[in-house]
Amino acid sequence: MNQLVAILITLFFLGLIVYFTVTQKLKDRYAFLWLVTAAAGVLAAVCIPLLNRFAVWIGIAYMPTFVFLVTIIFILALLVRQTISLSKQADRIKTLTQEFAVMEKRLLELQQSAPASAERREPL
């Protein structure tokens, strides 16, 4: 019964990821990671007895502890990946802001010099 509930929950999660990807709420760049995660969750839910034997084999007597350990490691890896992405985006925003400021200054200089050069022209 517990295995059936775990399978249903992970299938629901997989369905949510597919829905968010199709409706463009989740970009393809991140969708692949979440689809693999959801598929791994479905596989883990199907193979609960095998996971229990593997946990005992590596020295963890209580299988949910193993699942929590794997989940925490995955979340930490995901946080590192998101932090790297956030750092890149911050650098890109900084560069874009600086370029915008330079362009705005040039535009103001051109606008200020335009009336002076227009006054010097002789009418036809």
Find all residues with CB under 8 Å of 44, minimum gap 6, and list them.
6, 10, 51, 67
Mean pLDDT for 43-54 is 85
Between 121 and 6, whose confidence is greater? 6
Q: CB of 31 within 8 A of CB of 17?
A: yes
Q: What is the pLDDT of residue 67?
A: 83
pTM: 0.64
How far the first Cα of the chain sits from its last, in Å, is 93
Coil, helix or strand for 9?
helix
Alpha carbons within 13 angstroms on the beta-carbon side of residue 78 total: 11
Which structure tokens are listed for 88?
């890149």
Mean pLDDT for 41-61 is 86
Q: What is the pLDDT of residue 96?
A: 97
Q: How far apart are CA 119 and CA 39, in angstroms?
A: 71
Q: In the predicted model, is pLDDT for residue 111 greater than 70?
A: yes
Category of 24 on φ-ψ map: left (φ > 0), alpha (ψ -120 to 50) or beta: left
pLDDT tens column, 61-100: 888 888 888 889 988 998 998 899 899 999 999 999 999 9
Between 122 and 109, whose confidence is greater? 109
Q: How far apart are CA 72 and CA 65, in angstroms?
A: 10
Q: What is the pLDDT of residue 33?
A: 84
Q: In the predicted model, is pLDDT for residue 46 greater than 90?
A: no
pLDDT tens column, 12-40: 988 988 898 899 888 887 888 888 888 88
